[in-house]
Amino acid sequence: MLDRVSIQLIRQPLMLAAKYLDTTGLTANQVTVLGFVWGCFSLPALMAEHYLLALVFIVLNRIFDGLDGALARIQGITDAGGFLDISLDFLFYSLIPFGFVLANPEQNAVAGAFLIFSFVGTGSSFLAFAVMASKRGIGNPVYKNKSLYYMSGLTEGTETIACLVAFCLFPLHFPAIAYLFGAACWFTTFTRIYSGFETLK
């Protein structure tokens, strides 16, 4: 819902940073993998209940996720890069609630499982429509520079990042935040399935 606004706000600083990265010889795919590695460090931090440290790794992951796209627009967007980026993004998103489950299974297990279940709904509806849109040559007029069709919804990247930050700032309220965001994800899933089906029909 907020991605089109946040993308406009961060586009210029990301492009400046990407232009510098381009001079170092780093590729967009290498930045994608580096960002995922940074994100993976949040798992042991969460397990040890070092929530602010986990937040640092989450923020680093998201910065690198923005940088890889900006760098790809300089070096050339590829299907392989888009595939790598979206695959690692969804793995990272699921890693965070899993970390909270491991930190406190008694309190967080059911809420964490519900949220990951919800991520399956948003992720599968998003990716399934992207495949069909590509097959039919359907373009998105809003997100023209994406490597695949970026289907909008109530819960997009910006809202997901805000949720992950809230988890780390208010870890005792993880179950309530997870249930609330999971419900919003299911709203997104149902609206995507409906609008996607109608569009393809």
**DSSP string of 103-134, one letter each residue:** H-HHHHHHHHHHHHHHHHHHHHHHHHHHHHHH
With 60 as the cut, is the pLDDT of residue 26 above it?
Answer: yes
Confidence at residue 131, expressed as pLDDT on a 0 to 100 scale: 85
Q: How far are the Cα atoms of 22, 57, 88, 137 from residue 31, in angstroms, in the given order?
A: 11, 15, 12, 29
d(CA 65, CA 61): 6
- Which class is domain 3-200? mainly alpha
140: pLDDT confidence band, cut at 50, 70 and 90? Answer: low
| Residues 3/158, Cβ–Cβ less than 8 Å | yes
Confidence at residue 154, expressed as pLDDT on a 0 to 100 scale: 79
150: pLDDT confidence band, cut at 50, 70 and 90? Answer: low
Average pLDDT over residues 42-65: 97
* pLDDT: which is higher, 4 or 76: 76
d(CA 176, CA 187): 17
Least confident range of 51-55, 79-83, 132-136, 144-148: 144-148
Give the residue extent of every domain in the chain: 3-200
Residues near 146 by Cβ (< 8 Å), separated by ≥ 6? Answer: 82, 140
136: pLDDT confidence band, cut at 50, 70 and 90? Answer: confident
User: What's the predicted TM-score (pTM) here?
Assistant: 0.87
Average pLDDT over residues 118-129: 92
| Residues 53/43, Cβ–Cβ less than 8 Å | no
Confidence at residue 70, expressed as pLDDT on a 0 to 100 scale: 92
The tokens for 45 are: 């931090």
Axis-axis angle for helices 174-200, 157-169 (nearest 10): 170
The tokens for 77 are: 């967007």
Name the one residue in this structure whose structure tokens are 């490597």.
147
* pLDDT: which is higher, 140 or 198: 198
* pLDDT: which is higher, 100 or 77: 100
What percent of the chain has a predicted confidence (pLDDT) above 90?
A: 66
* pLDDT: which is higher, 113 or 6: 113
14: pLDDT confidence band, cut at 50, 70 and 90? Answer: confident
Confidence at residue 10, expressed as pLDDT on a 0 to 100 scale: 78
With 70 as the cut, is the pLDDT of residue 142 above it?
Answer: no
